[in-house]
């Protein structure tokens, strides 16, 4: 999969490039408006990561340019602005997703995969790992073809891990992702352990060939059994 990163901040661009290459993507870079347009005109990309504020123009104009080319390119807007207006405008112009800085690299990778999956398997948004299938739309979990009932939080946790297989996830980051802003001062993650215990038991009882392992006592990792 070929990705173009349009980002003028050298440090962030460098980091994203390294991280995405490590995930097995082919990555190219553009640092300003004109070079981005040049590259888009000449080469074909599966996915474009687009910063909105660029030297020489707005990322939103690049987005219009891409959509004008009538090519099937997924666009994820990456912006420091984190404003609803930008998000709405971007999505109206045809962007596939919107990610506000600062973001987790794992989140970025998950979004790229999710966007790609959506455009390839028309309408099938399910996450698949081994014999486990997670359907975010209907909020159903299927293990080896049988449905396993999950509580709301259990489902959210599993979804978060299914988007980041083989990545170490800090339980504080997990807690914030699932419980939202409510946890930002919590000094105890008892509530994570309780949900995690039930989720792991449900997965192993259903005979799933993935498991969520505790790592060093401060984090978890989703791995194949």
Partner 1 sequence: MKFIYRIILWLSALMLVFMTVWGIFFYRALAEEIVDETDDMLESYSADIIVKWLSGVEIPAIDNGSNNTYYIRKVSPDYAASVPRISYEDAMIFIAGKGEDEAARIRHHIFMDKDNSYYELTVAVPSFERQDLINAILQWMVFLYFILLVACIGITVAVVEYNFRPLKALVEWVKSYVPGKKNAPVPCNTKISEFRTIAVATQEAADRFERQYELQNQFIGNASHELQTPLAVCTGRIEMLLDSDTLTRQQAEELTGINRTLQRLVRLNRTLLLMTKIDNGQFMETSDTDIVSLVKDSAEMLDEIYGYKGMRSEISGDPSLTVRMNEQLSSILVSNLLKNAFVHGPSDSVVGISVRGRTLTVTNDGGAPLDKDRIFKRFYQGPDKKEGSSGLGLALVRSICDRYSFSLEYFYDGRHNFRVVF
> 5 CB contacts (<8 Å, ≥6 apart)?
13, 16, 17, 20, 27, 28, 29, 30, 49
> 86 CB contacts (<8 Å, ≥6 apart)?
52, 60, 77, 79, 98
Q: Which span (32-40, 63-71, 174-182, 203-211) binds partner 1, by CB under 8 A?
A: 174-182
Strand partners, 219: 170, 215
Decide if residue 2 touches partner 1 (CB under 8 A): no
Helix, strand or coil, per DSSP, at residue 155: helix
Contact track, partner 1, 111-130, x by CB under 8 A:
--------------------
Supply the minimum distance, in Å, between the C-beta of residue 97 and partner 1: 16
Among positions 72, 122, 137, 216, the unique one binding partner 1 when judged by CB under 8 A: 216
d(CA 31, CA 54): 8
Among positions 38, 124, 184, 205, the unique one binding partner 1 when judged by CB under 8 A: 184
Among positions 180, 207, 214, 224, the unique one binding partner 1 when judged by CB under 8 A: 180
Closer to partner 1 by Cβ: residue 16 or 196 = 16
Decide if residue 24 touches partner 1 (CB under 8 A): no
**DSSP single-letter state for residue 75:** E
Q: Which span (17-25, 128-136, 138-146, 197-205) binds partner 1, by CB under 8 A?
A: 17-25
d(CA 81, CA 161): 27
Decide if residue 213 touches partner 1 (CB under 8 A): no
- Alpha helix (H) residue ranges in the chain: 10-22, 33-42, 59-68, 84-92, 105-120, 152-162, 171-179, 190-205
Supply the minimum distance, in Å, between the C-beta of residue 113 and partner 1: 16
Please state whether beta strands 47-51 and 2-6 pair in parallel, antiparallel, or not at all (unpaired): parallel
Query: Which residues are near partner 1 by CB under 8 A?
Result: 9, 11-12, 15-16, 18-19, 22, 80-85, 100-106, 167-168, 170, 172-173, 176, 179-188, 190-191, 215-216, 218-219
């Amino acid at each position: 999969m070929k990705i173009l990163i349009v980002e003028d901040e050298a440090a962030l661009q460098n980091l994203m490039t390294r991280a995405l290459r490590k995930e097995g993507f082919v990555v190219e870079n553009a640092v300003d408006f004109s070079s981005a347009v040049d590259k888009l005109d000449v080469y074909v990309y599966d996915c474009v990561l687009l910063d909105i504020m660029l030297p020489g123009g707005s990322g939103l104009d690049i987005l219009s340019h891409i959509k004008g080319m009538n090519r099937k390119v997924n666009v994820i807007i990456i912006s420091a602005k984190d404003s609803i207006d930008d998000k709405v405008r971007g999505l109206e112009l045809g962007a596939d997703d919107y990610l506000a800085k600062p973001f987790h690299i794992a989140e970025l990778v998950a979004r790229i995969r999710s966007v790609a999956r959506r455009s390839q398997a028309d309408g099938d948004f399910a996450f698949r790992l081994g014999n486990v299938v997670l359907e975010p739309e209907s909020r159903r979990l299927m293990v080896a073809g049988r449905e396993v009932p999950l509580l709301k939080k259990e489902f959210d946790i599993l979804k978060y891990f299914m988007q980041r297989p083989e990545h170490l996830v800090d339980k504080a980051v997990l807690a914030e992702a699932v419980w939202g802003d409510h946890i930002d001062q919590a000094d105890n993650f008892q509530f994570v352990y309780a949900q995690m215990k039930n989720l792991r038991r449900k997965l192993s009882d259903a005979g799933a060939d993935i498991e969520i392992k505790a790592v060093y006592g401060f984090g978890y990792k989703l791995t194949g059994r």
